[in-house]
């Protein structure tokens, strides 16, 4: 039988990287609900950790069956439904795992299926959105089960440990824009002499103007002129400004290969996604050496553990932000082939409680990229796509808090 593998952003391993689930850890369902949202019916399972699942369909009556590996539900339940779902029943499977059978009132199509990351006291959520369809579409689901596999063991969520809200009130979100390099640190230097620090500042200023024009954000710039800033000061300034997002702007350069071009978006990881990414992080982090002071190791063990926990929660948000950035940047500029969302240990991404991404807007070592990055029209396009991604991110966040 054919299997459809789903590539779900929320299922990418890095969303839950950082620590592997311990052997024998049983993930459990905490709650379930069905909601009628008009044009879609949503089935939600709150779980302590995301698990692989297989979804298939049966006819007469129309039913969807979702089988989760290594997932249990002490109060395995059945309940009535809403919208297109007449009711559901979740029971333990013979060997391991759990099966949920949703009885539908007709043929449905899977509009969306994903895990939402845990935030604060809210656990991970398995979300299935259904919309009405026809028998032909439903028949495809019957013949082609959907299998979703997590690529790595997810991080189990410690439930019942409320994290303090990042800040009280609900003012306009604060977006921190960090123009890379500056002052004595020019950053990369293009094939015809363009400085990275010049491009990053231009785009930062354009982006600030665009975001401020919407009236929906407060914008904080780590620098708005040609000054030198240490990496840790960039992070500190953004945190002091109560930033909800941290966006660091850069342009890449590579020696000996002037053909490589395209934009990429980085999020924090202990392990770089490849050697090139590790070298890039080393290059960007080296900027601090110019400020004569290395990052200071002011960590006693407890602080490190707390920061680690907080960082992991923030990382879920950073990764989603990065996926949105890649999606929107792709409309404005060429992306680095293969994987435009990458992972590396950039010092500037290490704020434990502020979702952060680093954008390499293109390669100054490539003549075409350099010419584009020098043009105001292209800088406008890039700034516009970043602004779009920021808007999508906050829409997603609002959605998340409602669901
Ligand atoms: Zn840079």
Q: Which residues surround ligand 1, an ion (CB under 5 A)?
A: 180, 187, 250, 284
- CA 243 – ligand 1 centroid, Å: 21
pLDDT recorded at residue 13: 31
Q: Per-residue pLDDT tens for 162-183?
A: 333 344 445 789 999 999 999 9
Q: Per-residue pLDDT tens for 326-363?
A: 999 999 999 998 788 888 878 778 777 789 999 999 99
- Measure CA 20 to chain center: 19
The listed CATH number (3.40.50.620, 3.30.200.20, 3.40.920.10, 2.60.40.3500) that belongs to domain 3-18+25-150: 2.60.40.3500
- CA 378 – ligand 1 centroid, Å: 18
- CA 17 – ligand 1 centroid, Å: 25
pLDDT over 70, % of the chain: 77
- Domain range list for the chain: 3-18+25-150, 174-402
| The total number of residues written for the chain in this structure | 403
CA distance 403 to 396: 11
- CA 250 – ligand 1 centroid, Å: 4
Q: What's the start-to-end Cα distance of the chain, in Å?
A: 35
Q: Per-residue pLDDT tens for 109-136?
A: 888 777 777 776 778 888 888 988 888 8
- CA 252 – ligand 1 centroid, Å: 6
Q: Per-residue pLDDT tens for 184-235?
A: 999 999 999 999 999 999 999 999 999 999 999 999 999 999 999 988 889 8
- CA 260 – ligand 1 centroid, Å: 16
- CA 196 – ligand 1 centroid, Å: 7
Strands 146-148 and 53-58: antiparallel
Structure tokens at 29: 């369902």
Structure tokens at 277: 């990414």
pLDDT mean over 265-292: 68
- CA 154 – ligand 1 centroid, Å: 32
The fold of the 174-402 domain, in CATH, is Aminopeptidase (3.40.630)
């Amino acid at each position: 039988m054919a299997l459809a593998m789903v590539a779900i952003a929320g299922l990418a391993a890095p969303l839950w990287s950082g620590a592997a689930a311990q052997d024998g850890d049983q993930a459990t369902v905490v709650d379930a609900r069905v909601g009628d949202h008009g044009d879609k019916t949503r089935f939600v399972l709150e779980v302590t950790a995301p698990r692989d699942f297989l979804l298939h369909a049966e006819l007469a009556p129309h039913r969807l069956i979702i089988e989760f590996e290594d997932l249990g539900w002490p109060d395995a339940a059945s309940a009535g439904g809403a919208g297109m779902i007449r009711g559901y029943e979740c029971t333990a499977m013979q060997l391991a795992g759990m099966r949920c059978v949703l009885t539908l009132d007709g043929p449905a199509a899977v509009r969306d299926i994903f895990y939402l990351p845990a935030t604060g006291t809210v656990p991970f959520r398995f979300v299935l959105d259904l919309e009405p369809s026809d028998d032909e579409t439903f028949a495809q689901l019957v013949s082609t089960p959907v299998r979703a596999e997590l690529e790595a063991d997810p991080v189990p969520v410690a439930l019942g440990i409320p994290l303090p809200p990042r800040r009280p009130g609900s003012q306009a979100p604060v977006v921190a824009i960090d123009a890379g390099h500056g002052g004595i640190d020019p950053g990369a230097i293009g094939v015809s002499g363009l400085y990275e620090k010049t491009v990053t500042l231009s785009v930062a200023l354009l982006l600030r103007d665009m975001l401020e024009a919407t009236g929906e954000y407060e914008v904080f710039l780590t620098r708005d002129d040609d000054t030198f800033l240490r990496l840790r000061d960039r992070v500190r300034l953004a945190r002091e400004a109560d930033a909800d997002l941290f966006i660091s702007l850069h342009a890449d350069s590579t020696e000996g290969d002037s053909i490589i071009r395209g934009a990429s978006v980085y999020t924090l990881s202990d392990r770089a996604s490849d050697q090139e990414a590790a070298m890039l992080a080393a290059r960007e982090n080296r900027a601090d050496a110019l400020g004569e002071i290395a990052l200071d190791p002011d960590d006693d063990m407890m602080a490190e553990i707390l920061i680690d926990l907080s960082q992991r929660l923030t990382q879920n948000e950073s990764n989603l932000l990065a996926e949105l950035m890649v999606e929107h940047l792709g409309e404005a500029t060429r992306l680095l082939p293969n994987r435009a969302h990458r992972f590396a240990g950039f010092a500037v991404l290490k704020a434990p409680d502020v979702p952060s991404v680093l954008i390499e807007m293109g390669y100054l070592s490539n003549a075409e990229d350099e010419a584009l990055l020098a043009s105001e029209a292209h800088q406008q396009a890039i700034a516009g796509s970043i602004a779009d991604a920021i808007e999508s991110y906050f829409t997603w966040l609002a959605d998340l808090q409602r669901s």
